[in-house]
Amino acid sequence: MPKYIFITGGVVSSLGKGITAASIGVLLKARDISVAHQKFDPYLNVDPGTMNPYQHGEVYVTDDGAESDLDLGHYERFTGVTTSQNCNFTSGRIYDTILKKERRGDYLGGTVQVVPHVTTEICNSVRSLDNTGVDVVIAEIGGTVGDIESLPFLEALRQFSNQIGRSNVLFIHVTLVPFLAKAGEVKTKPTQHSVGRLREIGIIPDMLICRTEKHLDKEVRRKISLFCNVDEDAVIEAFDVPHTIYEVPLEFASQNLDHWIIDALGLRAGRRNLRAWREYVDKVVNCEHTIEIAVVGKYSELLDAYKSIHESLNHGGAHNKATIRIRSISSEDIEKNGAAKVLKGASGILVPGGFGTRGHEGKILAIKYAREKKLPFLGICLGMQMAVVEFARNVLKIKDADSTELVPETKNPVIHIMEEQKMIMNIGGTMRLGAFPAVLAKSSLARKSYGTDKISERHRHRFEFNNDYRDQFEKGGMTLSGLSPDGILVEIVEIANHPFFIATQFHPEFKSRPVAPHPLFRDFIGASVAYSKKTGKN
């Protein structure tokens, strides 16, 4: 049976619990301890699949097709774990399970209650990773202590720790120690109150991770330790890191957070090996160039909506010794002001995935600009579909080509829903979700980049390339360089007489890691660095 680390947050939201959980995973892994990650979200949506990115940020897709919280992306990027359906539970999902059981009569007419039924279901969810054979499960509870909706989770975890024995569980509380400029000092009271709220529920935190903009001196740590009843060595400072979030594990390592956890849980551990991690951070810190990459999407001001893409660009940047300046551009801006003006200064253009019609013509204009000006281009999902539409309209001269998602009545549906897919939708599945294999064409850019001809990548879409147009595209110069193994679905398109023009129906960004950048991002940035050197841009 694994040991469990539960991570809660207090005082304010957005303290970086996800990065904290992921960083703890990195440190345990660096000591040869295997980990799995889980995230519990107290809201009532069954999953974030249908939630607005303004509220929720990116939907992270797992190999097994879960539409899940973006923190799972941090876990995978940091610890290299592969997450699954069992790694993200919302209150909505827990209630959904219970209500289905209730309707089936599984409760035999008994009254169904928050305690014990909801709490038991939460405990079952925690245990759903028990058979994975990992040493430690690190579970993060979304929200902030004191929220009404997180209460059942905390109550469940209190029960859980009693059931499996307190020595098998650690509670780590992430909190804020604010600096009051007028008083000229950091204040520990919010942390004391937050720990007080936890204790009322019956949870006594073992470790505190204190977000702060000022270093905490010994005196402050002693005070927090005394008032919050936490070992002084377990008061960890989480100071804002200067260069990259991937420095956080190194910060924690310098405070021996891993030693403390290993002792407290009685884990068998190896020597700490953070070499690959340090090398990555060194690369980020010692970049030689800076280039600007334009991400042309629906949301220009909303960084979390494209979280994995931004991270993947940074991974590719570090590999190529380039600091990436990401310019988030709303495609509507291009519709208003033209591609040349808006994209000036960019050394590469990325059009990400998306849904709906807003700004779609702007994306097509950006792709046309990239194709004609020979600017490196990477298109993802909707970005690939728009690249196909652009090519149809401007190269194959099919003027009214479109995707039926955007113009349902188009006479030339180069992107459409396949009959087989329609069947799937009729029986309740709505999207092609999760990992699917693809085969890459010999001597294609994709094949060269991946270094193999068989790949597996994650999908989240309804629409597909329309096979009726295959011949026209291939004759016109667009290579269909990645196909499903049965040859039916087009997964990658590319253009040959261009330094780097490639677009994928899947989402490569979900599989990029700092220590193993995704090949397409690595080479897209490589081509963008070359472009910037050649043109003197940035």
Beta bridge partners of 142: none
Question: Least distance to ligand GLN from the beta carbon of 377, Å?
Answer: 16
- The answer to the question of residue 299 lying near ligand GLN (CB under 6 A) is no
Nearer to ligand GLN, 370 or 503 (CB): 503
| Interaction pattern, residues 188-217, with ligand GLN; x per rule: CB under 6 A | ------------------------------
- The answer to the question of residue 40 lying near ligand GLN (CB under 6 A) is no
Angle between helices 151-164 and 119-126 (to 10 degrees): 60
Of 17, 56, 462, 522, the one binding ligand GLN by CB under 6 A:
462
What torsion, rounded to 10 degrees, do the Cα atoms 335, 339, 340, 344 define? Answer: 110
Of 48, 316, 317, 354, the one binding ligand GLN by CB under 6 A:
354
Question: Least distance to ligand GLN from the beta carbon of 227, Å?
Answer: 48
Of 2, 16, 205, 353, the one binding ligand GLN by CB under 6 A:
353
Nearer to ligand GLN, 5 or 381 (CB): 381
- The answer to the question of residue 355 lying near ligand GLN (CB under 6 A) is yes
Q: Which long-range contacts (CB under 8 A, 24 or more apart) does 69-74 make?
A: 69/39, 69/41, 69/142, 70/18, 70/304, 70/307, 70/308, 71/17, 71/18, 71/21, 71/22, 71/39, 71/140, 71/142, 72/37, 72/39, 73/307, 73/308, 73/311, 73/510, 74/18, 74/19, 74/21, 74/22
Of 405, 457, 494, 509, the one binding ligand GLN by CB under 6 A:
405
Residues 6+ apart with CB under 8 A from 272: 27, 30, 31, 253, 258
Question: Least distance to ligand GLN from the beta carbon of 233, Å?
Answer: 46
Of 460, 498, 511, 518, the one binding ligand GLN by CB under 6 A:
460
Beta bridge partners of 324: 291
Interface stretch with ligand GLN, choices 175-183, 332-340, 456-464, 468-476 (CB under 6 A): 456-464
Question: Least distance to ligand GLN from the beta carbon of 295, Å?
Answer: 13
Interface stretch with ligand GLN, choices 123-131, 457-465, 468-476, 488-496 (CB under 6 A): 457-465
Question: Least distance to ligand GLN from the beta carbon of 473, Å?
Answer: 18
Interface stretch with ligand GLN, choices 36-44, 276-284, 459-467, 485-493 (CB under 6 A): 459-467
How far apart (Å, rounded) are the C-alpha atoms in residues 6 and 138?
6
Return the residue matching tokens 């975890």. 157
Question: Least distance to ligand GLN from the beta carbon of 403, Å?
Answer: 8
DSSP-derived 3-state class of residue 170: strand
Question: Least distance to ligand GLN from the beta carbon of 330, Å?
Answer: 16
- The answer to the question of residue 363 lying near ligand GLN (CB under 6 A) is no
Interface stretch with ligand GLN, choices 34-42, 99-107, 149-157, 351-359 (CB under 6 A): 351-359
* Of residues 497, 523, 26, the one with CA closest to residue 257: 26
Size of the site for ligand GLN (CB under 6 A): 10
Q: Which amino acid is at 335?
A: E
DSSP-derived 3-state class of residue 501: strand
Give 241-274 as a DSSP string: PSS-GGGHHHHHHHTTHHHHHHHHHT--------
Residues 6+ apart with CB under 8 A from 226: none
Asked if the bond preceding 48 is cis, omega within 30° of 0, the reply is: no
- The answer to the question of residue 382 lying near ligand GLN (CB under 6 A) is yes
Contact 524, 350 (CB under 8 A): yes
Interface stretch with ligand GLN, choices 85-93, 352-360, 471-479, 526-534 (CB under 6 A): 352-360
Question: Least distance to ligand GLN from the beta carbon of 460, Å?
Answer: 5
Catalytically annotated residues: 381, 507, 509
- The 8-class DSSP code of residue 513 comes to B
- Which residue minimizes CB distance to ligand GLN? 353
Of 40, 391, 463, 469, the one binding ligand GLN by CB under 6 A:
463
Q: Which residues are near ligand GLN by CB under 6 A?
A: 353-355, 381-382, 405, 460-463
